[in-house]
Structure 1
């Protein structure tokens, strides 16, 4: 899931923003997750998942540190170059510093605008991030994207072990990855042409060559023939 992070040291505001973020994810069925909502800089940094991306909603002022969120954004940009950063702050005068430091925030939300306007902007920023995520998944060959119903998903190509046709559901592909198994509409040809990491070991399977030590087509055919006999199992061969 695509990770979202919230830094806000005002507990009342943090609860409000947290509720807005969770509701939009649930209502629009985005493949996203609010990983942490905190007022502590170190807690947020310690909870960043192993990913090149993320959406960060950062309060600019934490405690007596007027530029704490800005300094944190510098660290985030270094660690996660593709992160989307949104500042939620009372300090309009600090907006020029985001340009000076080349942070390139997705948005700059002023708290004085009121909760309704803040909510609209948070929703807009999450929608924009979802659009960016779709575009990057299509463009970047290191991410495999697929769609189930109205929901859009992605998985690092290095985590994909195999893609195979689902014989019980024609026109459906089964994804087998390190931490998930999923069925979705599609055909193997489109993936074989796009991703050089996949090897067509038979007409119904693509395997990630990074997970292959050796390949014996004759043995595979022999195994397939034996498996057609209902009384035999792989461990019997």
Structure 2
């Protein structure tokens, strides 16, 4: 799902754009959620830090002027947290685009605020569609890699290197990833990880997501699946998933 965040300190513009986006998303039945519409830059940064793995499209008022952030300052901070997410500037001054270039924010688009709100929404809709298309193209490429965030940095690992993911008991949003000569912990749910990966990954158990391509053996009696000949790398299989797992492995 694409999350949209609108930031503008002009209440009228903020409400118009937010309402317009919600109506368009509902009418077109898009996989988009208006996550936040605010004039507070700190609220945006707080939200993004709590949800660093989501896909975003930001509509930012370039003329935003709060005590702590301008629109460009906010965009620069977002770029540090989310290097690749789409940013669209709402502006009353086209000449400010030169300042944006100096800050190397690399926005997707500029939308000039004007009296005709229909024209503003026309541009907003185009940018929504464009971002969804880019996400679709990116997902085709990224199926070969699993991407994650750790200590504010973005990493990726080839899916062919992964054995399985395990949800930590008592901490369902703390996941252990087991791969070639590697184990690491990431903060995300198994369901979120499952959505990111392709059909080679299978939920064999409530707490495990396995890479079918790395399975070496399945012991139906012991209800265990193994990833190496020595059977030292293994995880359990739920009884109700055994039949389906056998089918997928044959």
TM (norm. structure 2) is: 0.60
Instruction: Indicate the SS of the match to 2:83.
Output: coil
Query: CA–CA distance in 2 between the matches of 1:64 and 1:208?
Result: 48
Q: 1:51 aligns to what? A: 53
Q: Where does the alignment leave 5 or more consecutive residues of structure 2 unmatched?
A: 148-158, 167-188, 225-237, 244-250
Trace 1:166-205 onto structure 2 (pairs within 5 A): 178-179=190-191, 191-192=199-200, 198=201
2:14·2:38 contact (CA, 8 Å) conserved in 1? yes
The structural deviation recorded for 1:100 is: 2.0
Count of matched residue pairs = 179
RMSD: 3.8
Q: 1:85 aligns to what? A: 87
Q: CA 1:81–1:63 in structure 2 vs 1: closer, same or farther (change >3 Å)?
A: closer
Query: CA–CA distance in 2 between the matches of 1:12 and 1:191?
Result: 45
Trace 1:84-163 onto structure 2 (pairs within 5 A): 84-112=86-114, 114-141=116-143, 142=145
Deviations 1:67-125 (A, max 9, x none): 81111111111110111000001121110122222211111011136311101000000
1:35·1:47 contact (CA, 8 Å) conserved in 2? no
Q: CA 1:55–1:160 in structure 2 vs 1: closer, same or farther (change >3 Å)?
A: farther
Query: CA–CA distance in 2 between the matches of 1:68 and 1:75?
Result: 11
Q: CA 1:36–1:64 in structure 2 vs 1: closer, same or farther (change >3 Å)?
A: closer
TM (norm. structure 1) is: 0.63
1:53·1:80 contact (CA, 8 Å) conserved in 2? no
Query: CA–CA distance in 2 between the matches of 1:160 and 1:35?
Result: 28
Query: CA–CA distance in 2 between the matches of 1:103 and 1:160?
Result: 35
Q: 2:21 aligns to what? A: 21
Q: CA 1:104–1:113 in structure 2 vs 1: closer, same or farther (change >3 Å)?
A: farther
Q: CA 1:85–1:113 in structure 2 vs 1: closer, same or farther (change >3 Å)?
A: farther
1:60 aligned to which of 62, 67, 70: 62
Structure with more strand by fraction = 2
